[in-house]
Amino acid sequence: MSGMMMGRGGEERDMAMFVNTAGGRASSLEVQNHKRVCARGFGNAEKRPAVRAVHRDRAQFGSSTRRVACHQNRSLDMLGEGVKTAVLLSGGGRSLENLIVRIEQKTLTNVEIACVIASKPSAGGIERARARSIPTHVIRPRDFEGEDTVQRFSAAINDVLDRHAVELVVLAGWMHFYLIPTRFEHRVINIHPSLLPSFCGKGYYGEKVHKAVLDFGAKVTGCTVHFADNQYDHGAIIVQRPVMVEDDDTVDTLAARVFEEEKNALAQAVQLYVDKKLVLEGRRVKFAQEAAL
């Protein structure tokens, strides 16, 4: 996250930039949300302990250790107040549905799905979100073809995230490269249907992963939830769950069993994040016993 200091004048300039990037259409609620996030420390290095993606605590953990924390405790009712989370998807939205159901059942707590971003209007996840009155946005990569495609595509995503005052981003079946800005470092998590670092990288997604597992003759596969960075399937690993490969497995049967583990792993990783129980030491993510900073 940026280390830039921001006083009252800086906050006013930030608000002007926010309204401008929203095309002058920012609602009063969006402006208030943005003010709330800024007040909680996104632009002020002196006020960051309440809201930070990564917190350095040298006295307790040493200079190479970072504590991941991003919120203040608030009450949650159904899909109401909680850590504002955006879900990015390209398909049917099964992982989104998994998170929604767990929030509704209160087995995933202090999480609010603030918005859903889809990479195509036909993505089934859009209807799942709209059925719960979750704001949806379609941002198509093909609308940004030409020079600086990735940068402009990612900037459009960031604009939506800022308008909804998003604190955590979940890539759930997201099929496109998203260039993560510094302010979202260690605030974006991805679910991948294999045990990283195996069967991963550009072109490895969905059924292609499971076919590669079977073609290689692997005996164990699984899923991984990790912090996303600006390389494919590269960021620090948060949660992994193994799945044994059976002799009679097909792509479909293997994918079904892996997805059952994906549902648990993703919910676990999100809960650990919002509970401030993730400690980052180099590339190793450890679970903190005490959440307080």
Q: In terms of C-beta distances under 8 Å and separation of at least 24 residues, what long-range contacts does 274-279 make, across chains too?
A: 274/70, 274/71, 274/82, 274/83, 274/109, 274/110, 274/111, 274/168, 275/110, 276/67, 276/68, 276/69, 276/70, 276/71, 278/67, 278/68, 278/238, 279/61, 279/65, 279/66, 279/67, 279/68
Structure token digits, residue 142: 């093909």
Rounded to an integer, what distance in angstroms lies between the CA atom of residue 21 and that of residue 11? 15
Which of 55, 71, 192, 210 is flagged as catalytic?
192
Instruction: Reply yes or no on whether 210 is catalytic.
Output: no
For residue 191, the one-letter residue type is I
* 211 and 218 Cβ atoms separated by less than 8 Å: no
In sign, the C-alpha dihedral spanning 187, 179, 140, 268 is negative
Number of H helices, E strands in the chain: 8, 11
Structure-token pair, residue 46: 């002196």
CA atoms within a 13 Å half-sphere pointing along the CA-CB vector of 213: 34
The type of residue at 277 is K
In angstroms and rounded to an integer, the radius of gyration of the C-alpha atoms of the chain is: 19
Q: How many CA atoms lie within 13 A of 63 on its CB side?
A: 0
Catalytic residues: 192
